Amino acid sequence: MLKPIKVTLQAGPYRLAAIFYLPKDASGQKPVPGVIVCHGLGSKKENHLAYTEYLAEQGFAGLAFDWRGHGQSAGNLDDHTLDDVTAAIAYLSRRPEVDRHRLAIRGTSMGAYFALHAAALDARLKAVVAIAPATEDIVLMGVTPPKAGKDAIDYSQGARVQRKLLIAWMEKQDIHKAVPRIAPRPIFFIHCKGDEVIPYQSTEELYALAGEPKKLLLLEGGHHRFAQQDGTVHRLTVEWLREILAGGATSSST
């Protein structure tokens, strides 16, 4: 087993807890690609450490962090949440063992939502794996219980959310406009048809809007968290990332 390295990211005023894995042979003379791993709403980095360690076993540097307002990280989910991804990029870029020109991001659910927005804004992210990506309406439903006021800080999803600021920011966003801006950097969309939280048709729409190159994998059955923990999906995403970050990309739908 590889040794997890506990690190702290600085995202604006907030300190974010993160776990970093490196391949055994990574060095400043032999830098490896880096992958940022983003969890969903109310989740935490620990739920994705198996994948993050697997990345390192397969020759990638893996960095999993707790979003602001989640897990061991400070602050609340708010209108500057994308700064968390910027902090993760900055950390990987400073590591001599990581090739800062070969960075990718993998997100699930809300994590995929922010990963796609981040890639649309930051060309340092060369590829995106989006598993069951949420849209604005899905995230807003998740952070806004029926009787909650806009100003409240919500704890109902296992996360601390500054609802007023987050809603104000999200009302100005449109993931359907962000996704096309990522091209020509590739996106790998993955979704289970049995997802009870986010309909897989939503991902089909995002895939249709994405520019080339792109890939879509729809899994029969399953549930919302199935693809993010499935060993076969882990392997397929790593194979895809290896191909992309080594140069060259193709489009496909299955």
Q: Which two tokens stand for residue 164?
A: 């007023």
Extents of the domains making up the chain: 5-137+169-253
Please give the C-alpha separations between residue 241 and each of 1, 36, 56, 226, in angstroms, as whole numbers.
Answer: 22, 12, 13, 20
Q: How many residues does the chain have?
A: 254
Distance CA 240, CA 235 (A): 9
User: Letter for the amino acid at 10?
Assistant: Q
Q: Angle at the Cα of 63 (from 239 to 170), degrees rounded to 5? A: 100
pLDDT digits (tens, 9 = 90+) for 91-127: 999 999 999 999 999 999 999 999 999 999 999 999 9
Please give the C-alpha separations between residue 134 and each of 39, 41, 44, 138, 221, in angstroms, as whole numbers.
Answer: 12, 10, 17, 6, 18
pLDDT digits (tens, 9 = 90+) for 205-233: 999 999 999 999 999 988 877 887 889 99
Number of H helices, E strands in the chain: 9, 11
- Of 186, 233, 227, nearest to 207 by C-alpha is 186
**Superfamily holding 5-137+169-253:** Alpha/Beta hydrolase fold, catalytic domain (3.40.50.1820)
| Average pLDDT over all residues of the chain | 91
- Of 19, 28, 88, 98, nearest to 59 by C-alpha is 98
Distance CA 59, CA 242 (A): 9
pTM of the model: 0.92
pLDDT score recorded for residue 147: 52
Q: Name residue, tokens 């739908």.
A: 253
- DSSP-derived letter for residue 28 is S
Residue 252 pLDDT exceeds 70: no
The angle that helices 136-143 and 163-170 make with each other, rounded to 10 degrees, is: 170
